[in-house]
Structure 1
Amino acid sequence: MPTFCIPVQDGGVGFDYRLHMAVPDKWIELLKQSDESWKMGDIVHTLTNRRWLEKCVTYAESHDQALVGDKTIAFWLMDKDMYDFMALDRPSTPRIDRGIALHKMIRLVTMGLGGEGYLNFMGNEFGHPEWIDFPRGPQSLPNGSVIPGNNNSFDKCRRRFDLGDADYLRYRGMQEFDQAMQHLEEKYEFMTSEHQYVSRKHEEDKVIIFERGDLVFVFNFHWSNSYFDYRVGCLKPGKYKMVLDSDDGLFGGFSRLDHDAEYFTAVCPFLNAMHSLLVLFLHLLI
């Protein structure tokens, strides 16, 4: 429906926003693969592939995952480890550490590139471990086949919002990160900025770098490589400071970056940008 968000007087349907439904479908597709095989260009293309001047609401997780029939993003990433290793009073596992890190990055890159609005879906903000399933009996289809029900069970008929509020669980850090993302948008209003430019989508480095408004976003999806003095092109010259770090201990990270560090640009053209700066960022795998 190409006229969905065109004003009625111009022959359109007149809605202000369209749901960017291709994004959660892409994450479902990618989560069924090893993240080592993810293509940075493919991710960027899906997030930015929308009509010019058509505003979109983007989201990382949808009913296809959160409702019966699939798994939530968190459960795809961490699976059964979520049942035993999400308490802070016991050691974590590499699967949990990696899953929490990827969950935060998936949400932020979706919010950063995917549209002009961002939607959470039924516990995505803190990484709900399970799907939701309403009580239901068997359903007969016109072709004669029958979809089995769940014996009208209420077992999965709830969202565990208490998990995100529990300060003794790792879900709390994931929820804190979601709040920090919202505060970042509230302060800088990057989602409604006209300036959006992807400067790097490097398949070997597994790096995505883009500008949105006054911010420069840097993502390292590599499973083992950290980068020191990595050159990042930028439109605006001057001094840059870190305003959001997914590795912050508050968000369940390991606090390995200096938040007080200042980064100064140089007149060093890089990847079609007149200015650039050197940054440090870490690999995904702990």
Structure 2
Amino acid sequence: MDRPPDLERLLQGDELLRSHESDILQRWRRYSDWEKRIADSEGGLSEFALGYRDWGIVQRPRGEVTVKEWVENGETVSLVGDFNNWDKSSHVCSRDQYSVFSLTIPPREDGTAAVPHGSQVKLWIRTKDGQEFYRLSPWTKYATQNMEESVDYRAVHWAPPTPYKWRYSRATRPPSLRIYEAHVGISSPEAKCASYRYFADEVLPRIKSLGYTCVELMAVMEHAYYGSFGYHVTNFFAVSSRYGTPDDFKYLVDTAHGLGLYVILDIVHSHAAKNVNDGLNQFDGTDGCYFHGGGKGEHALWDSRIFDFSKWEVLRFLFSNVRWYLDEYRVDGFRFDGVTAMLYLHRGIGTGFTGAYHEYFNMGVDLEALVYLMMMNRMLHDMYPDVITIAEDVSGMPALGRYVRSM
């Protein structure tokens, strides 16, 4: 089958799409090709999205700590931290033909982890072209800032010996959505009250009492520059430490569910901060790796980097990022921010949209980014039938939110 099963239904629903049938077929075929490749190699989109279980610096149940990183331009990678006195020759990773670096660190003789909970950790990298530098793992689960040491955020190995104990089940999806958009950092006039736990105890009950059924949280993913309002993300798997720990954020979500509120997050996959020392930019010493190289990888107005959605490991990273928040923090959905910047090669800069369909079906569409959104929406709704997905797209691309059916 080389046509989507419900194509005719789509065209009947909007006859203006008929003149763009070839573009729709191109998108669907590219989607089908990616879905098949991922199914053949990874077991399917849902399995592909479990990368967070193995990638990065992971605490294992029996005290082992594993390291797995994709460093495209890497020659040598070591794990360093206060656990080994920052000795770059102490814990060196092995490298495979795909530039994936791996390491297993056995537990200590007493059975405790060699990398204790709360340790500061970094990757030391030597590149193929001879550069040497330190980087934070892209999969960092907790990042904190100590202004006495540096303005840069530092990665902290988060592996508490006693996991958070959930008090409530997930909330039941409300029959109608009344969404309260909120930012934890400005939820109180007093800075000392701007925390996940204050928000949970003091703000969520007010939201519930006003008749809202869902809270949408902005700026949860870690960001070094507070002036970006949370949309220049540096650490995609880390909830912002400004407002508390990962367990504190779980308490917020848990409390919301106890009140019967859905929780959705603003998630930023449209771009990333340019930060080098505490972000993804120049992770392997090049302007590529996770991003497009050259001008295609730059958002000129936002001064940020654009992901390369044609790369296998970039897709693994982003798919896993979304599933991480669903599995680890039990959130109920996402508002994908800045989708217009993903959909078009012009990133929406200097472009007005009148609603004419030729604006959405042309060579200016970033096909790989669009297909990524198609696959992501398919995976989310297959795995979590009650999930909420919202695309913040100012262009109004037709059929953007439509569920994609496989062959």
Tell me, yes or no, whether TM beats 0.5: no
* Class of the TM-score when normalised by the shorter of the 2 chains: 0.3 to 0.5
| TM-score for both structures, normalised by structure 2 | 0.26
- Max radius of gyration: which structure? 2
